[in-house]
Amino acid sequence: MHAAEPAKTSRALQKGQQTKLAIIDAALGLAAQIGLEGLSIGAVAEVAQMSKSGVFAHFGSREELQISVVREYHQRFEQEVFYPALDAPRGLPRLRAMFANWMKRTSAELDSGCIYISGAVEFDDRAGPVRDALAESVRTWLDAMTRSVVLAIDEGHLRADADERQIAFEVHALILALHYEARFLRSPGSLARASSGFDNILARNAAAG
């Protein structure tokens, strides 16, 4: 009887974790439509087809729910953009792979929107844990992009005196412009212009020879 207790407890924990992940998935989809600020225990409970008390039991507060959504979004972003690029050779091939993956992700989000971008608009002037979690996620990604630029410099693909932070800044700016042009203005050719802009950044900073 006692031997069965750990297995029973393990199954209960596993089921609880699966339920929590399902709630986060529902909340992530809702946040893409109405923004992080629009999330509430009640709204997520309705989408997840659960009781409010059931959702509350997993998070304890609306703020913790929002933070969990930010972390899940970041994890998915890394899985789609960052980690696949690590299969490419160090230096420029990896940097190109990151940008290509980022473009692909941005294209897929044209209908739903990017939580990094919409969240920045919602929380840019609002201090607190949700803003902190969002800013930390964006900084983590930009730091990874900057490190990839440094590797391209170290491999001799970009000039030794190239400014890695300036390059990362300009690449980030391209994605922001792409999202604005394609999602808000519906400008045709936005993807091609973003790709051309990236090539121009690399050309300006290319190593001689």
For residues 91 and 157, is the Cβ–Cβ distance under 8 A?
yes
Query: Which of 197, 166, 193, 195 has its CA nearest to residue 181?
Result: 193
Q: What is the pLDDT of residues 42-93, one digit of tens each?
A: 999 999 999 999 999 999 999 999 999 999 999 999 999 999 999 999 999 9
Locate the domains of the chain by residue range.
Answer: 4-204
Phi/psi for 9 (5° steps) reads -65, -40
Give yes or no for residue 101 having a pLDDT over 90: yes
Q: Which residues contact 96 (CB under 8 A, 6 or more apart)?
A: 88, 202
Architecture of domain 4-204: Orthogonal Bundle (1.10)
Eight-state DSSP code of residue 113:
-
CA quadruple 113, 117, 121, 123: dihedral positive or negative?
positive
Question: Where are any strands of DSSP class E within 62-198?
Answer: none
For residues 158 and 205, is the Cβ–Cβ distance under 8 A?
yes
